């Protein structure tokens, strides 16, 4: 998975236009779920890149359990390459997120948790998106060492000078986390000085609580019905007594 995200940096250098990066984490009620990563290029960027499919090597991703689709032009006008991988439990979610660009990368150290009791089930996703290293977020130490500390060989500075804008303005990052009962979207930037904290929590009422609520509603409803019937009976009795005196 690292190679797909790292390819984002190379595509920016080739394109110098607009690139979207999305990372979506969805946790289901039983604690399983999916992590989905997408890289999208606008038409101008795509024209500069050329054959996007040839630029990306995804055989190893598929071999490690990722489902890769695209490049496909979608309704937003961008051409997307998307990769999705399921996880069976919260521990698996953390492992998959670490695969996105390494355990020490932007998504390293996330915690996904699910707690269950007869009364409720709770869900929690906490962590941070750390883009404070800018484009170096999408490289690894071996590549940095091989290129003397600059993984892009001075290309970022040249690209910014050519475009007249910082590379952070060329990359839109959107991170979405969904758990049962809550969804939040975060928009970290390559220009951030601090990591973007992520925290999404929610809880669902357990079956015993649901049954208890139904029982209480039925009891209250039954008691109210008895009171209304007694009042109606007294009202009818009073009406007959008044009629007899008349």
Q: Tell me the whole-structure pTM to 2 decimals.
A: 0.74
pLDDT tens-place values along the chain, 246 residues long: 444 555 555 555 555 567 888 999 999 988 899 999 888 888 877 777 677 676 666 777 788 888 988 888 999 888 888 889 999 998 888 888 888 766 667 877 788 888 877 777 889 999 899 888 877 776 655 545 544 455 555 566 776 777 677 777 878 889 999 999 999 999 999 889 999 999 999 987 655 444 444 444 445 555 555 555 666 566 555 555 545 455
| 228 and 197 share one domain | no
Are the C-beta atoms of 203 and 181 separated by less than 8 Å?
yes
Domain total in the chain: 2
| 212 and 177 share one domain | no
| 64 and 105 share one domain | yes
Structural domain that includes position 234: 207-246
| 13 and 121 share one domain | yes
| 224 and 188 share one domain | no
| 9 and 131 share one domain | yes
| 201 and 214 share one domain | no
The count of other CB atoms within 10 Å of the CB of residue 167 is 22
| 201 and 224 share one domain | no
| 102 and 195 share one domain | yes
Cα–Cα distance, 94 to 90 (Å, whole number): 7
Three-state secondary structure readout of 95-152: HHHHHHHCCCCCCCCCEEEEEECCCEEEEEEEEEECCCCHHHHHCCHHHHHHCCCCCC
């Amino acid at each position: 998975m690292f190679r797909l995200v790292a390819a984002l940096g190379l595509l920016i250098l080739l394109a110098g236009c607009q690139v979207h990066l999305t990372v979506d984490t969805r946790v289901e009620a039983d604690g399983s779920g999916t992590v989905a990563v997408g890289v999208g290029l606008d038409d101008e960027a795509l024209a500069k890149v050329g054959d996007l499919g040839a630029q990306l090597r995804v055989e190893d991703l598929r071999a490690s359990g990722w489902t890769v689709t695209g490049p496909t032009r979608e309704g937003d006008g961008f051409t997307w390459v998307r990769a999705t991988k399921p996880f069976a439990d919260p521990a698996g979610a953390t492992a998959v997120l670490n695969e996105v660009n390494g355990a020490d990368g932007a998504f390293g150290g996330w915690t996904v948790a699910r707690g269950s009791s007869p009364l409720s089930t709770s869900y929690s996703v906490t962590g941070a998106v750390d883009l404070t290293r800018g484009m170096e977020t999408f490289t690894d130490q071996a590549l940095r060492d091989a290129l003397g500390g600059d993984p892009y060989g001075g290309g970022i500075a040249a690209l910014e000078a050519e475009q007249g804008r910082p590379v952070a303005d060329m990359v839109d990052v959107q991170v979405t986390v969904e758990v049962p009962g809550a969804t939040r979207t975060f928009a970290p930037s390559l220009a951030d000085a601090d990591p973007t904290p992520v925290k999404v929590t929610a809880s669902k009422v357990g079956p015993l609580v649901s049954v208890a609520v139904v029982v209480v509603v039925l009891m209250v409803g039954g008691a109210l019905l008895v009171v209304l019937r007694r009042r109606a009976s007294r009202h009818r009795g009073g009406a007959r007594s008044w009629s007899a005196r008349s």
